Structure 1
């Protein structure tokens, strides 16, 4: 039997029901937000002294860092670079000078001349600068050339660089110093490290060859063959590749 609805009576629309419920929910949400905001304001009011201290400390640190860089570090970098110029000139002249003159020039590079610091004083007075770091490299190489091997090791070990060439040269220089101190095992370790540090056509085959020759001296024919094979296969155009055949036979004969 059909069901009839009484005229004049309309059931509540779903939208009307939702509007009542939504109104109630919205009111609750706003009440909750008001309560949360009040609690936050109270917390801030209670702790504003500590908040201001934290903000103040952060501001001081940031401004201090910026001020340090602008007013202390940057002028110090410029001073160090200015002092470095003369020492570098002595060093470069020493590399080109005959053996009878090179030692005195290396010593001037280390101790200074013409009113300018040498590398040692630059390290002491500007150690935190880029020039001070670079002075470790130059000092180490100067000591290596004047046969003061432990001092060379100390400076080159303190030198820190991501440079493609200088980084491996410093490691290899430590290897050279250890070899002169008759510590070939240590020398070999540093030659291998220098070869691995960066891959390029200059330093990699250079120190692979030094590693190979040192390995042969130590009776490590297999290791020497590996280093020589790398030079032959990966760096065939390097000057070291022309010497591979000389040592490869020795390395293979030892096995």
Structure 2
């Protein structure tokens, strides 16, 4: 059995022991500091409550405004934007129909007339121009810019074609490349080879497509060659040969490469 020796030096827990003066001062200081902190918190809380009471109407007004804005956005999406998109798409169908009829027409006069109707509207239906103006911000309005640009291209109005094709938001890989390529064609019609080459490059860089990319690589090569930029032309032609060997453009690419290499 272990025997513990009583420690007679242990202080009596029940006996009051007077703390040194420095310790008492430290405790008093701590208590004073703690009281000051709580007083400051109480004062801050009071000031906050007072401020809330004073600005209660403003706060409530701001919260209501936020709620109204959120509700307004939802209502706009449901009752304004969505119906606008639907109506614009319906109108675009008829404008595109006029454009397609023009493309199929064999009489040049009839063709030009239908292209103009696709732009200006007719038979009680909107053309590309009205869709763009009346349904601004919709996908159909953006596509109307493209349609209008292509209609002006067919009418030989290259300045308007360029303006509308540039206004088109080219997010789709196919339409984006075609928009840039047609801008290049319009500039070439205006004898502006420098801008034409710039947009042909934009067209084949916009997306890699087995059908579209080699077309604009070839056009870029032809224009570059005309400008005396043989190294650039050879680079574009070689890409067709290496990357798109089954394309229509690749069938005669060796002939073009041979001409450049002479």
TM-score (norm 1): 0.83
Q: Structure 1 pair 251/52, CA: closer, same or farther in 2 (3 Å)?
A: farther
Residues in 2 aligned to 1:79 and 1:7: alpha-carbon distance in whole angstroms: 95
Listed as ranges, the matches of 1:11-22 within 5 Å are none
Structure 1, unaligned runs of 5 or more = 12-23
Which of 118, 122, 127 in structure 2 is aligned with 1:109? 118
Residue 195 of structure 2 corresponds to which residue in structure 1? 186
- Stretches of structure 2 that go unaligned for 5 or more consecutive residues are 15-30
1:172 paired to 2:175: no
How far apart are residue 196 of structure 1 and its match? 1.1
Alignment partner, residue 133 of structure 1: 142
Indicate how the Cα distance of structure 1 residues 99 and 250 shifts in structure 2: closer, same or farther if over 3 A, else same.
Answer: farther
Q: Which residue of 1 aligns with 2:53?
A: 45
Counterpart residue number, 1:221: 230
Counterpart in the other structure of 1:20: none
1:144-183 alignment to 2 at 5 Å? Answer: 144-183=153-192
Q: Residue 94 of structure 1 aligns with which residue?
A: 102
CA RMSD of aligned residues (A): 2.9
| Distance 1:35-1:244 versus aligned 2 partners, 3 A rule | farther
- Report the alpha carbon displacement of residue 90 of structure 1 after superposing the two structures with TM: 1.6
TM-score, normalisation: structure 2? 0.81
Deviation at 1:78, TM superposition (A): 1.9
Q: Distance in 1 between matches of 2:169 and 2:213?
A: 19
Q: Which runs of 4+ in 1 moved over 4 A?
A: 24-36
Aligned partners of 2:170 and 2:179 also within 8 Å: no
1:55-109 alpha-carbon deviations (Å, 9 max, x no partner): 2332232222222222222222222112111111121222233253432322221
Deviation of the 1:245 alpha carbon = 1.4
Task: Note the C-alpha offset of 1:194.
Answer: 1.2
Give the whole-Å Cα distance in 2 for the aligned partners of 1:237 and 1:87: 36
Q: Distance in 2 between matches of 1:138 and 1:81?
A: 13
> Hey, what's the Cα distance between the residues in 2 that align with 1:233 and 1:45?
76
Aligned: 1:208 with 2:217: yes
- Contact 2:88-2:141 within 8 A present in 1 as well: yes
CA distance in 1: counterparts of 2:70 and 2:212, whole angstroms: 41
| 1:143-170 alpha-carbon deviations (Å, 9 max, x no partner) | 1111110110111011113111001111
Of residues 240-249 and 43-52 in structure 1, the stretch that sits farther from structure 2 once superposed is: 43-52
Deviation at 1:4, TM superposition (A): 4.1
Describe the shift of the 1:33–1:202 C-alpha distance in structure 2 as closer, same or farther (beyond 3 A). Answer: farther
Q: Residue 79 in 1 paired to residue 82 in 2? A: no
Mean Cα deviation higher: 178-187 or 223-232 = 223-232
